[in-house]
Amino acid sequence: MSANESERSGPAGAATEPTTVLPETAAQLVELERLQQALADSEERAKSHWEQYLRAVAELDNVRKRAQRDIEAANRYGLEKFAQELLPVRDSLELAVQSAEKAADVRSLKQGQEATLQLLAKALEKLGIVTINPVGEPFDPARHEAMMAQPSSTAEPNSVLQVVQPGYELNGRLLRPARVIVSKAP
């Protein structure tokens, strides 16, 4: 063992205290202080960014949970408006059945059915359901279903002569195509 090593280990191999290296010049001391300050500033910024990250993650989680609740509520109660619009139609049909049991005349039954049909048409209109009635229009396979082709001298070929069953659209989306009779050349 060298003399330097024995001096460092101390008497009887006792643990040595760590030695600190002191800067040799004032410039090194200033640089050391500047680096320590930069490290402290960086640690503070890192802590601030971590807190912002945690807040953003929590906010994102809250948004996801809120959206999931909204979707569940829409699925559960989405038909509520539709049902509210159809209830008066049901009430009108019940009245028609009750009046039929009382042997009402045919004319009053017809008026009741017409009133019920108007209620239903109004309810469908409020819900954004539009009737497709394409008489005289060119045949459109995307919106119409041809039931048959019929020769016609008055209508242009490949146009709708008659609607067998009207079609319906909901906000521009086809619910059911109109079933039609299409003209062809005689």
pLDDT at 99: 75
Most confidently predicted of 9-18, 73-82, 99-108: 73-82
Q: Which residues contact 185 (CB under 8 A, 6 or more apart)?
A: 151, 157
DSSP element (H, E) containing 165: strand 160-165
64 versus 106: which is more confidently predicted?
64
Instruction: Flag the least confident range among 49-58, 77-86, 110-119, 133-142.
Output: 77-86
The pLDDT mean for the chain works out to: 84
Three-class DSSP category at 184:
strand
- The predicted model gives 20-28 an average pLDDT of 72
pLDDT at 88: 85
**Does residue 12 register a pLDDT over 60?**
no
DSSP element (H, E) containing 33: helix 26-77
Q: pTM for this one?
A: 0.56
